[in-house]
Amino acid sequence: MNPSPITFLKGHGTENDFVIVPDPDNAVDLPATAVARLCDRRAGIGGDGLLHVVRSAAHPEARDMAGDAEWFMDYRNGDGSVAEMCGNGVRVFAHYLQHAGLVGAGDLAVATRGGVKRVHLDKQGDVTVSMGRALLPEDGVTVTVAGRSWSARNVNMGNPHAVAFVDDLAHAGNLFSVPAFTPAAVYPDGVNIEFVVDRGPRHVAMRVYERGVGETRSCGTGACAVAVAAARRDGADPALTGAPVTYTVDVLGGTLVITERPDGEIEMTGPAVIVAEGTIDPSLL
């Protein structure tokens, strides 16, 4: 039984929006059904996902990170499923900690299921996250929408992505349901699928179908996956040249700037905002 009332906030990063539930002591029970109800845009608060804000020491999945990061981002997709990582979510999470007076401007660490992420909050409101390295398995993947097929790059940013370069973002169709991908065995736990077009030198635009959500207006891990896939397609590999490579990635909800460093570390910079605060009717949970 949950205590009442339960505070929530609503925030977004490039319009990837989240219900934020501050719960330092991990006292709020949030089964998948409750998360899905809260994220429902008609009967709930509405969001692509939910950020459960818990002290690392109070969460069984984060206790071993408590020495490095005081706060754990217990991220859930809008359908209630758990994902390894959420790039826009980390920016919004860090911005919330600052908004709540729990951290100051500057640098902090956030524990996630994908490990501890270093975050920098700048004075203009932009947030930069060190997202870790991309893994690039060599599997051949094909994505199909409405009779058109593309070979896609498999990129793992802690969570799985298939990046398809297309001629026109409209070719992704309405994205009301998950695009077909083969072989299914490459992604046994499902996948986030990005459709990408070129906008200029080291500048691309994307749409995304997110696992556990549907089409969203932005995906931070997706933008990182796209930047790395675009760099390799363009013959750029910072590990070989010793020079960082930066891509501007336009999403439907704004723009993210992604830099891959020679050691493989990927940095993502973009905005994060809080738009509302309130209390949750306990009957939703």
Ligand X SMILES: N[C@@H](CCC[C@H](N)C(=O)O)C(=O)O
Q: Which of 189, 222, 199 is nearest to 82 (CA)?
A: 189
Q: Are 215 and 230 in contact (CB under 8 A)?
A: no
Residue with tokens 């934020």: 20
| E strand or H helix that includes residue 231 | helix 220-233
Among 194, 210, 250, 260, binds ligand X (CB under 6 A): 210
Q: Is 179 in the site for ligand X (CB under 6 A)?
A: no
Give me the least distance between CB of 94 and ligand X, in Å please. Answer: 13
Q: Which of 195, 198, 217, 215 is nearest to 206 (CA)?
A: 195
- The whole-angstrom separation of Cα 184 and Cα 51 is 29
Q: Which lies closer to ligand X via its Cβ, residue 70 or residue 210?
A: 210
Q: Are 255 and 270 in contact (CB under 8 A)?
A: yes
The radius of gyration of the chain from alpha carbons, rounded to an integer in Å, stands at 18
Q: How far is CA 229 from CA 173, 215, 249, 266, in A?
A: 22, 20, 12, 12
Among 141, 159, 195, 230, binds ligand X (CB under 6 A): 159
- Give the per-residue contact string, 12-31, with ligand X (x = CB under 6 A; - = no): ----x---------------
Q: Which lies closer to ligand X via its Cβ, residue 4 or residue 41?
A: 41
Give me the least distance between CB of 21 and ligand X, in Å please. Answer: 16
DSSP secondary structure letters along 100-147: TTSS-SEEEEEEETTEEEEEEE-TTSEEEEE--PPB-----EEEEETT
Give me the least distance between CB of 96 and ligand X, in Å please. Answer: 15
Give yes or no for a cis peptide into 183 (omega within 30° of 0): yes
Candidate segments 65-73, 99-107, 193-201, 211-219, binder of ligand X by CB under 6 A: 211-219
- The whole-angstrom separation of Cα 219 and Cα 210 is 8
Q: Is 215 in the site for ligand X (CB under 6 A)?
A: no
The answer to whether 192 is a known ligand-binding residue is yes
The answer to whether 215 is a known ligand-binding residue is no
The answer to whether 233 is a known ligand-binding residue is no
Q: Is 268 in the site for ligand X (CB under 6 A)?
A: no
Q: Which lies closer to ligand X via its Cβ, residue 178 or residue 284?
A: 178
Q: What is the pairing mode between strands 16-22 and 6-13?
A: antiparallel
Active site residue 39: no
Q: Are 147 and 115 in contact (CB under 8 A)?
A: no
- Give the per-residue contact string, 37-76, with ligand X (x = CB under 6 A; - = no): ------------x---------------------------
Among 45, 145, 213, 251, binds ligand X (CB under 6 A): 213
Q: State the catalytic residue, choosing from 19, 62, 73, 86.
A: 86
Query: What residues from 88 to 107 belong to the interface with ligand X (CB under 6 A)?
Result: 88-89
Among 76, 117, 153, 211, binds ligand X (CB under 6 A): 211
- The whole-angstrom separation of Cα 134 and Cα 155 is 6
Active site residue 219: yes
Q: Is 117 in the site for ligand X (CB under 6 A)?
A: no
Q: How many chain residues are in contact with ligand X, going by CB under 6 A?
A: 17
The answer to whether 113 is a known ligand-binding residue is no
Where does this chain bind ligand X (CB under 6 A)?
16, 49, 77, 83, 86-89, 159, 192, 210-213, 219-221
Active site residues: 86, 219
Residue numbering of the annotated binding site for substrate:
16, 77, 87-88, 159, 192, 210-211, 220-221
